[in-house]
Amino acid sequence: MEELKEKSINPPTAAGAVTAPKTQFSDLDPEVQLAIRCVSDKKAKDIVVLDLRQIASFAEFFVIATGANQRQVQAVSDEIQEQLKKRLSVRPIRIEGYRTGEWLLMDYGDFIVHIFNKEAREFYDLERLWRDAGKIALPEDL
């Protein structure tokens, strides 16, 4: 008789399984690094960068941050847009949510910047939705 095997939605990990090396901040494209620095320079909180390369095809990274209010959310967006254009001649494909300043999305093709106010970030909880994505280790000076 054939043995019954226990099935699980979480497959067992092999003792010698090879995991992909964690991407470091210094390994990111200059555009992504500059966007993250702009977010930090404008004092946004809870900056998280998700590596989507293994799980999505529409973008490589999400940059997620929280602004204290509508003006700060817009100021962070303005800084990213200005610096990427001035320093690297890069413009966003699309910007959504600027007027309301609750959840502002900046699509740069290879990466997407999400700037939330506190309530919207808690409600949409992108980190939970994209929990299978890797997290980028950010420098302590950010």
Mean pLDDT of the chain: 89
pLDDT attached to residue 142: 80
31-46: per-residue pLDDT in tens? 999 999 999 999 999 9
What span, in angstroms and rounded, lies between the C-alpha atoms of 131 and 29? 22
Instruction: Transcribe 107-135 into DSSP letters.
Output: E-SSEEEEEEEHHHHHHH-HHHHTTTSEE
**pLDDT in the model for residue 1:** 47
Which two structure tokens, joined as six digits, stand for 30? Answer: 């200059």
Above 50 in pLDDT, residue 97?
Answer: yes
**Burial readout 87-103 (b: 16 or more C-beta within 10 A, e: otherwise):** eeebebeebebbeebbb
Q: What is the CA radius of gyration of the chain?
A: 18
* Higher-scoring residue by pLDDT: 1, 101: 101
Instruction: Indicate whether 6 pLDDT > 80.
Output: no
All domains in the chain, ordered by first residue: 48-135 (3.30.460.10)
17 pLDDT tier (thresholds 50, 70, 90): very low
